[in-house]
């Protein structure tokens, strides 16, 4: 149980106790009407209680996973809070004045429950779509991000100035490249990957000639990839 859900759980528990206190601490008979004997009272009570239980379910759905997942699922929790508020506004008159027709309370309960379910399902679907897009984007950018990190490490660990300068040029070229990959770029990206591995070995050996040759080839391949990226987005 993470800290976010612990805080939410405490808030929910306090809300549940407060709701029951407000409902059952006032006199059982108000304005000469015995509240507990009226169906409208119990329908309204059930509507609000069910909305609170569903809010807890929204909290379970929204407040799991890492911070990014929680952020994407916050609309689920907002939907839950919104419909609890609606249930309280619509149910309160029937709790205070249970002489109101019970069938109206029943219809309102059904409508609120239906809207609640639709709202949570829509918010859940939107969160799942956002997470899927985020995961897809992360996979598409993994190639360049990995090479950028490797190039930075290579530059920092280079044993001579020539190798450090060459690694620095490669690092800057990768750093400012379009991070999003595409299946159409597979061939050039495979060649970049293979050339980078050989460049990495040349830097580690302090092979000046190989470093110069492979760094120029890498820069040319990176430029080729960038041109293809622009064409794919045109």
98: left (phi over 0), alpha (psi -120 to 50) or beta: alpha
Residue 56 within a domain? yes
Q: Are residues 60 and 131 in the same domain?
A: yes
Tell the burial category of 78 from Cβ atoms under 10 Å away from its Cβ (0-12, 13-18, 19+). Answer: middle
Torsion sign (Cα): 23, 28, 31, 37 = positive
Contact 202, 160 (CB under 8 A): no
Q: Do 200 and 162 fall into the same domain?
A: yes
Within a domain: residue 144?
A: no
Answer whether residue 221 is part of any domain: yes
**How do the residues of the chain divide into helix, strand and coil, expressed in percent and rounded to 5?**
85, 0, 15
* Number of Cβ within a 10 Å radius of residue 120: 22
pLDDT for 82: 85
| Number of structural domains found in the chain | 2
- Are residue 121 and residue 46 in the same domain, yes or no? yes
With a CB cutoff of 8 Å and minimum separation 6, the contacts of 167 are 151, 154, 155, 158, 203, 215
Give pLDDT < 50 ranges for the chain: none
- Same domain, yes or no, for 107 and 40? yes
pLDDT (0 to 100) of residue 140:
55
Domain containing 169: what range? 158-233
pLDDT at site 16: 92
Q: What does the pLDDT read at residue 135? A: 56
174 and 100 in a single domain? The answer is no
């Amino acid at each position: 149980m993470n800290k976010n859900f612990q805080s939410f759980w405490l808030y929910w528990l306090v809300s549940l106790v407060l709701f029951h206190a407000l409902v059952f601490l006032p006199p059982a008979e108000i304005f000469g009407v015995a509240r507990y004997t009226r169906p409208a009272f119990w329908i309204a009570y059930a509507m609000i209680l069910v909305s609170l239980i569903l809010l807890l379910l929204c909290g379970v759905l929204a407040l799991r996973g890492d911070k990014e997942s929680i952020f994407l699922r916050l609309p689920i929790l907002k939907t839950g809070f919104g419909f609890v508020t609606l249930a309280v506004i619509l149910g309160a008159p029937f709790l205070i004045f249970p002489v109101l027709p019970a069938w109206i309370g029943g219809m309102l309960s059904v409508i609120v429950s239906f809207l609640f379910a639709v709202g949570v399902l829509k918010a859940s679907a939107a969160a799942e779509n956002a997470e899927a897009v985020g995961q897809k984007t992360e996979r598409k950018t993994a190639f360049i991000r990995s090479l950028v990190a490797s190039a930075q490490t290579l530059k920092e660990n280079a044993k001579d100035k020539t190798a450090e300068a060459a690694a620095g040029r490669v690092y800057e070229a990768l750093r400012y490249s379009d991070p999003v990959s595409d299946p159409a770029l597979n061939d050039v990206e495979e060649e970049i990957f293979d050339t980078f591995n050989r460049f990495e070995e040349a830097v580690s050996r302090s092979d000046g000639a190989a470093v110069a040759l492979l760094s120029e080839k890498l820069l040319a391949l990176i430029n080729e990839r960038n041109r293809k990226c622009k064409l794919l987005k045109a």
